Amino acid sequence: SFSPLSVVPRFRCLGSLGKAAPSTSQLSSRLYGTLLAPEANQQLITEPLRHPDFFNVKELFSLKELFDARVHLGHKKGCRHGFMEPYIFGCRLDQDIIDLDQTMKHLQLALNFTAHVAYRKGIILFISRNRQFGHLVEVTARDCGEYAHTRYWQGGLLTNAHIQYGTGIRLPDLLIFISTLNNVFEPHVAIRDAAKMNIPTVGVVDTNCNPSIITYPIPGNDDSPLAVELYCRLFKMTITRAKNKRKQMEVLYGLQNKGGGDGNAGSHLSSVQV
């Protein structure tokens, strides 16, 4: 679960999240690109932003895979949330069917965003209050080197972090909700709190969930084990891929700097994929 002690090694205050002490902001600019020259560092950060799908997340999943994992199955018509109606394909014998064409698009956007956050060394927090998959989510988070919170959410975890855990705490840069509801079928408090703290959220929304405040909603089934295993696998692959890409790019730019030549930078990068 998300414990403050595990955050300390990555001690960097981002100015947009809470009040950063003046001394730490200077520290952060120094720590940000420790071994690279400023121009190379700048290109390292901006290069992925030039491509619509830099990490090629499209190839990680297919329509058939989503279908076989029962991602299109929703709850009964009576459980439907009004705001989910645009994402629903139809209603078959009282059971809502989610439109997988839309899910594909949303999933691609969400995975792309997750990859970019992981590439930039952001902290990702997995949240799921579904007891059936709590362990799976925690294992997924551990395997990709990120964090998970699958227990009771204390009120001030995000909004009162500086008082509860001390000043200069670094908050997560992305929240991934495997299930956006808590145990009483209400929206998870963290959705609202993340919106308050300007933290982007990615969330799997079922037909009984409210997708409004979530930054990158993924309409899909969050109750079947096959579907949840698929999501966990996809997020793990994306984050791992993005982190490996980052290491690759740092090596590339590190060699570039040592070599002294920066003329081949653009062509070299465009040929490197995956």
Partner 1 sequence: MARPSWSRAWQLLGAARRGSSYGTGDSLGPGVSPPEPEKRPSSLTSALGAGSRQVPSKNVESFASMLRRSPLVQMGPAKDKIVLGQIFHIVEDDLYIDFGGKFHCVCKRPEVDGEKYQKGSRVRLRLVDLELTSRFLGGKTDTTLLEADAVLLGLLESREIRQKE
Which chain residues interact with partner 1 by CB under 8 A? 63-64, 67-68, 70, 72-76, 78-81, 85-86, 88-93, 95, 97, 99-101, 185, 208, 221, 223-225
Contacts 24+ apart (CB under 8 A), 149-153: 149/1, 149/2, 149/125, 149/190, 150/1, 150/126, 151/1, 153/127, 153/129, 153/182, 153/188, 153/189, 153/190
CB 231 to partner 1: min, Å: 15
From residue 101, alpha-carbon distances to 87, 125, 207, 238 in Å are 9, 27, 16, 20
Q: Toward partner 1, which CB reaches closer, 39 or 101?
A: 101
Closer to partner 1 by CB, 108 or 244: give it: 108
Closer residue to partner 1, CB minimum distance, 73 or 214: 73
260-263, Cβ contacts within 8 angstroms, sequence gap of 24 or more:
262/39, 262/40
Nearest approach in angstroms of CB 207 to partner 1 is 10
Q: Between 95 and 164, name the residue whose CB sits nearer to partner 1.
A: 95
Residue closer to partner 1, measured from CB, 12 or 77: 77
Residues near 88 by beta carbon (within 8 Å), at least 6 away in sequence? 74, 80, 96, 97, 98, 99, 207, 219
Smallest distance, partner 1 to C-beta of residue 100, A: 4
From the CB of 48, what's the least distance to partner 1, in Å?
Answer: 28
Smallest gap from residue 79 Cβ to partner 1 (A): 5
In the complex, the smallest distance separating the C-beta of residue 96 from partner 1, rounded to whole angstroms, is: 10
* Closer residue to partner 1, CB minimum distance, 62 or 273: 62
**Rounded to an integer, what distance in angstroms lies between the CA atom of residue 146 and that of residue 248?**
20
Cβ burial of 270 (10 Å; 0-12, 13-18, 19+) is exposed
